[in-house]
Amino acid sequence: MGPKGRWSRRQFMSATADATVLATLAGALKPLTALAADGGPTLTLYDPRFAAARPLALALAGPQSLCATGGDPTELVLEFADGKFGRTPARLQGVTTESVPFCLQQLIPGARLIQRRADRDLFVWTLEGRT
């Protein structure tokens, strides 16, 4: 706050922008949360380079397991290909950059990808394999 407890224009604009981003993120998350509630094994990924990613992933995952992944999905894709995670989960979801779900989709023929932009860098997404 500025002098005498007043907000400066800059503080007001910053707070308004933060509130707008949070409202947008919540809107993107709501429909994808419904998909996550369908049941079946789910792995939730998030990109720890972005402060907003983990809280959004926690909201998306609920009690599901979280897994941090960086901007280069190569290592994660190789871990799936090598079977590190066992059988590929029926559903993958996350809050990451766009390259992660794209690369994972290439591993699962016929997979359905639903994604929404959360902010300039992040996407909230769900990837379901064919049953």
- In whole angstroms, give the CA distance from residue 64 to residue 120: 26
pLDDT at 32: 40
pTM confidence score: 0.63
Residue range 7-48, pLDDT digits in tens = 676 665 555 554 444 444 444 444 444 434 444 567 899 999
pLDDT at 12: 58
Domains of the chain: 7-128 (3.40.190)
- Element containing residue 12 per DSSP (H, E): helix 9-36
- In whole angstroms, give the CA distance from residue 57 to residue 26: 12
Contact 106, 127 (CB under 8 A): no
CA atoms within 13 A on the CB side of 100: 26
pLDDT at 22: 45
Task: With both helix axes pointing from N to C terminus, report the angle between 53-61 and 9-36 in degrees, rounded to the nearest 10.
Answer: 30
Q: Is the pLDDT of residue 108 over 90?
A: no
